[in-house]
Chain A
């Protein structure tokens, strides 16, 4: 019983946060709503038994990436540049796009039922207490079977860091730095 209560709570917060994020006027507001959505998804990871991912999500996503977003929004005074432009029939376009996508997803689910095999409703999840301690298994597989992708990911991060620094550093202050 507790399980479903938690799921509906986290799920609800995630969906509402996402919706508010997409529709809110002010950039900082949408950033804050995205943070709530990310924390809610982290809660869902916890519910699915992925503890390490829960803490990775909290530290990396909310602690790392969202700080980048907030810094950029604050530093570059974006919301000031925004207020004077209005897009008139905004809500109409949003509704149509959402409708089209939802119809598409509904069609897929409907036809999937007729496919052979279990279709969408696969067998149930392994019960919670039987699961092995999550972070140990994750670490063990991360460093044994997935060592190469791990190294590639670190190189990717390095390249991204260098790229971001080069781009963000403005041209005119090079002589003083």
Chain B
């Protein structure tokens, strides 16, 4: 490795790089969360045969900025007998929890704020579990009985689904053997296959639990519009509400990146060890260039002149990023940066795919009733997660003791777990059918 490449590597390892990464995260995440909101509204509109925000900027690209300005200007009201200190503190807690848990996430092999701490995934899980403190205090501080009910419901939901998420993560960690994030991704690289294929049931449980944990899609009962108006957020307005809102979206990104690291092979490109697919490394630069071409193509069609200018700017920005991705290929010493850049691209691509699934579920599925929600959590998800941990454990045992190849053992145990799952659900159907009396609303089964 020639001296300049070495210098660059040393340059990347100095201590203040982590500081910069931290600042970047704190500054960029609200912006990203804003644009995630825009993407969600556009997707929702697209699925519902309408256009979504088109007015602010071309194709509504400036909508998040407009939202942010509106929220800043809006006068935030504090309910009179509410607990001032806690009313101010609650949204801050939920935002801080989401951002600090992002610290330990490795967005690429090099780009990680807390330099590869030993308890990687556990840190992320633990700190993001502080988020619901903000929710419960927020509900309590705005002392209207609607928000208290909403806060209690969402906390009960978060606590119960966190156990399920924890167990799902345990079964994935059994495969990787370590908590350190970079080691987990290495394990997936050596195994040559992502953990989602080795432990599919764990991945599914984690998907369901993470949706419930971020209060979204079929599980977004706490702020179910039709009953509790807006759950714990009813009394908040203006910037405070924006904090909660960004906290929720940042949480979604955190949960997405944990799932990507654990199940979708962090920053590995789709077929890491397959050499004849090496051209995949070119893909990031190509995709961004394509986006640039598309935005310039759209620039001509903008009704307002200033929007054409804006679209040109977006196009040129995409081209610049594409160049940044392409340059290291040609300049020899810069070759060492390639894995970092490509890794970050693939990681963000997978996280956005994960979040797309969140949004997709949100638009299609109706909402669970609260008791069904808890029913699904406690009666079906957690026992299934426990059974899954056992089955992955047995698989590992089979592999070490009896030398059964790893994926064959896991295949067997996954079939066993699925059988257990079907039995579990059927047992519940019988129990609910028999117990359902006409007068009292029965525990209708779900899932």
Query: For window 50-100 of chain A, which residues contact chain B by CB distance below 8 Å?
Result: 51-52, 54-55, 58-59, 62-63, 66-67, 70-71, 74-75
B169 vs chain A, min Cβ distance (A): 12
Across the interface, do A58 and B130 meet the contact criterion of CB distance under 8 Å? Answer: yes
Across the interface, do B118 and A67 meet the contact criterion of CB distance under 8 Å? Answer: no
B110 CB within 8 Å of chain A: no
Alpha-carbon distance A157/B179, docked complex (angstroms): 25
Across the interface, do A59 and B85 meet the contact criterion of CB distance under 8 Å? Answer: no
Q: Which residues in B have their C-beta under 8 angstroms from that of A28?
A: 83, 86, 137, 140
Alpha-carbon distance A172/B155, docked complex (angstroms): 25
A35 CB within 8 Å of chain B: yes
Across the interface, do A74 and B148 meet the contact criterion of CB distance under 8 Å? Answer: yes
Query: For window 98-135 of chain A, which residues contact chain B by CB distance below 8 Å?
Result: 133-135
Q: Which residues in A have their C-beta under 8 angstroms from that of B89?
A: 32
Across the interface, do A63 and B86 meet the contact criterion of CB distance under 8 Å? Answer: no
Across the interface, do A135 and B179 meet the contact criterion of CB distance under 8 Å? Answer: yes
Across the interface, do B126 and A58 meet the contact criterion of CB distance under 8 Å? Answer: yes
B412 CB within 8 Å of chain A: no
Across the interface, do A63 and B118 meet the contact criterion of CB distance under 8 Å? Answer: no
A40 vs chain B, min Cβ distance (A): 14
Which of B89, B123, B126, B179 has the most chain A CB atoms closer than 10 A to its own CB?
Answer: B126
B352 CB within 8 Å of chain A: no
Q: Which residues in B have their C-beta under 8 angstroms from that of A133?
A: 118
A86 vs chain B, min Cβ distance (A): 19
B45 CB within 8 Å of chain A: no
The answer to whether A62 and B118 touch (CB under 8 A), given A28-B83, A67-B155, is: no
Alpha-carbon distance A134/B83, docked complex (angstroms): 41
Alpha-carbon distance A66/B130, docked complex (angstroms): 11
B159 CB within 8 Å of chain A: yes
Q: Mark B122-135, 1 if CB is under 8 A from A, else 0.
A: 11011101101100
Across the interface, do A59 and B136 meet the contact criterion of CB distance under 8 Å? Answer: no
Across the interface, do A62 and B133 meet the contact criterion of CB distance under 8 Å? Answer: yes
B230 CB within 8 Å of chain A: no
Closest A residue by C-beta to B89: A32
B119 CB within 8 Å of chain A: yes
Which residue of B85, B117, B127, B136 is within 8 Å of A51 (Cβ)? B117
A21 vs chain B, min Cβ distance (A): 13
B224 CB within 8 Å of chain A: no
Q: Mark B85-125, 1 if CB is under 8 A from A, else 0.
A: 11001000000000000000000000000000111001101
The answer to whether A134 and B129 touch (CB under 8 A), given A32-B86, A70-B136, is: no
A39 vs chain B, min Cβ distance (A): 9
Alpha-carbon distance A62/B127, docked complex (angstroms): 10
B152 CB within 8 Å of chain A: yes
Q: Which residues in B have their C-beta under 8 angstroms from that of A66?
A: 133
B104 vs chain A, min Cβ distance (A): 10
B204 vs chain A, min Cβ distance (A): 24
Alpha-carbon distance A55/B114, docked complex (angstroms): 14
Closest B residue by C-beta to A46: B117
Closest B residue by C-beta to A29: B85
Alpha-carbon distance A70/B132, docked complex (angstroms): 12
A123 vs chain B, min Cβ distance (A): 26
A23 CB within 8 Å of chain B: no
Closest B residue by C-beta to A33: B85
Alpha-carbon distance A67/B140, docked complex (angstroms): 13
Across the interface, do B133 and A35 meet the contact criterion of CB distance under 8 Å? Answer: yes
Q: Which residues in A have their C-beta under 8 angstroms from that of B140?
A: 28, 70, 74
Which residue of A32, A52, A70 is within 8 Å of B119 (Cβ)? A52
The answer to whether A55 and B85 touch (CB under 8 A), given A32-B137, A62-B130, A74-B140, is: no
Alpha-carbon distance A75/B152, docked complex (angstroms): 9
Alpha-carbon distance A32/B86, docked complex (angstroms): 8
Across the interface, do B133 and A67 meet the contact criterion of CB distance under 8 Å? Answer: yes
Q: Which residues in B have their C-beta under 8 angstroms from that of A70?
A: 133, 136-137, 140
Across the interface, do A55 and B126 meet the contact criterion of CB distance under 8 Å? Answer: yes
A26 CB within 8 Å of chain B: yes
Across the interface, do B118 and A51 meet the contact criterion of CB distance under 8 Å? Answer: yes
Q: Which residues in A have their C-beta under 8 angstroms from that of B148?
A: 74
Alpha-carbon distance A75/B86, docked complex (angstroms): 17
B122 vs chain A, min Cβ distance (A): 5
Query: For window 144-169 of chain B, which residues contact chain A by CB distance below 8 Å?
Result: 148, 152, 155, 159
Q: Which residues in A have their C-beta under 8 angstroms from that of B122?
A: 55, 59
Q: Which residues in B have their C-beta under 8 angstroms from that of A75?
A: 152
A133 vs chain B, min Cβ distance (A): 5
Known contacts A52-B119, A54-B119, A74-B148; 6 further A-B pairs (Cβ under 8 A): A29-B85, A32-B85, A35-B133, A59-B122, A62-B133, A67-B136
Listed by A's residue number, 30 A-B pairs whose Cβ atoms lie within 8 Å are A26-B83, A28-B86, A28-B137, A32-B85, A32-B137, A51-B117, A51-B118, A54-B119, A55-B123, A58-B127, A59-B122, A59-B126, A59-B129, A62-B130, A62-B133, A63-B133, A67-B132, A67-B133, A67-B155, A67-B159, A70-B133, A70-B136, A70-B137, A70-B140, A71-B152, A74-B136, A74-B140, A74-B148, A74-B152, A134-B118
Q: Which A positions have Cβ atoms within 8 angstroms of B?
A: 26, 28-29, 32, 35, 51-52, 54-55, 58-59, 62-63, 66-67, 70-71, 74-75, 133-135
Q: Which B positions have Cβ atoms within 8 angstroms of A?
A: 83, 85-86, 89, 117-119, 122-123, 125-127, 129-130, 132-133, 136-137, 140, 148, 152, 155, 159, 179
For the complex of A and B, the 4 pairs showing the least CB-CB separation, nearest first, are: A59-B126, A58-B126, A63-B129, A55-B126
